[in-house]
Amino acid sequence: MTQFRDLHQPGNPFILANAWDAGSAKMLAALGAQAIATSSAAHAFTLGRTDGLGVTRDEALAHAQDLVAATPLPVQGDFENGWGDDPETVAETVRLAAEAGLAGVCIEDIRLPSPDAYDLSLAVERIRAGAAAARALPHDFVLTARADGIMTGAYDLDEAIQRLQAFEAAGADCLYAPLPKTLNDLTRICASVTAPVNVLAAGPTYTAETRASLAACGVARISLGSALARATHRVIHDAALEMFGEGRFSRLGTSISGDKVDTLLT
């Protein structure tokens, strides 16, 4: 099945909608999503945990299966560093992800739970092993390689581009450097590689943009990460402060109707 891969069109990006349970996946699908992704942070929030290996691989795989079963859309797994430093663990994670029904995964180059990046040679070997495992599968599988050090401060834009180019050469199908500082930086990233590039719609810079403006940079995919889940948590936060601090309930008056939710879930 190449449905997920075919969505990746540089300059004509689709929105990869990160969900955190079957209900949010169903709602997003009913509202127009073309593909769903897990979110490591959003999933951790549902379990009362923090992001950054707050979820085990077995838990993430079971959660992914729930999202796969919720809709007919392709689902990508947000699988952090693959739950291991060595290349073979990344390869095993790819194989297990495929068995869970996922259409792809993204793998970071950060030595979690620290903010430090793997050395370039190890980071590339990890992606090479994951890509080899993906190509050996009986069906199409999209491996996204992430250069997260640009977001954590482990390295600069030049090194992020060097890593993305090396990841592409190692067999990555899609490339992702979260939150470059400017749109010019994002444009430079897209121009530096031939594989499709993902951009994260989070933070003040990118949430102020539009699909059209991001398309003009050359991206092929716009993911939400945990931004939509955190927007939901903002509603909980603000409503709770009003209720418990002021004894008022006005923020609940803007909630969506139960009938509308029921319609989206069926």
Is residue 204 in a domain? yes
Query: Residue 211's domain is classified under what CATH number?
Result: 3.20.20.60
Region of poorest pLDDT, from 52-66, 86-100, 207-221: 52-66
* Residue from 207, 216, 177, 214 nearest 195 by CA: 177
Query: What average pLDDT does this structure show over 197-201?
Result: 98
* 23 in any annotated domain: yes
Query: Is residue 217 scored above 90 in pLDDT?
Result: yes
Count of structural domains, the chain: 1
- The C-alpha angle 126, 93, 172, rounded to 5 degrees, equals 45
pLDDT of residue 97: 98
13-41 per-position pLDDT tens digit: 999 999 999 999 999 999 999 999 999 99
Is 0.85 topped by the overall pTM?
Answer: yes
Whether the per-residue pLDDT at 192 is higher than 60: the answer is yes
In-domain check, residue 239: no
Please tell me the predicted confidence (pLDDT) of residue 53: 67
Whether residue 248 is contained in a domain is answered as no
* Residues 6+ away with beta carbon under 8 Å from 15: 33, 34, 201, 211, 221, 222, 223, 224
Asked whether residue 2 carries a pLDDT value surpassing 90, the answer given is: no
Please give the average per-residue pLDDT across 240-252, as a whole number: 96
* Residue with the two structure tokens 């067999």: 171
Is residue 249 in a domain?
Answer: no
What range defines the domain where residue 14 resides?
3-226
Q: Establish if 260 belongs to a structural domain.
A: no
How far is Cα 105 from Cα 137, in angstroms, rounded to an integer? 14
Q: Which 8-state DSSP code applies to residue 250?
A: G
Q: How far apart, in whole angstroms, are the C-alpha atoms of residue 176 and residue 225? A: 12
In a domain, 233, yes or no: no
Tell me which H or E stretch contains 189: helix 183-192
Q: Kind of pairing, strands 75-78 and 197-200? A: unpaired
259 in a domain, yes or no? no
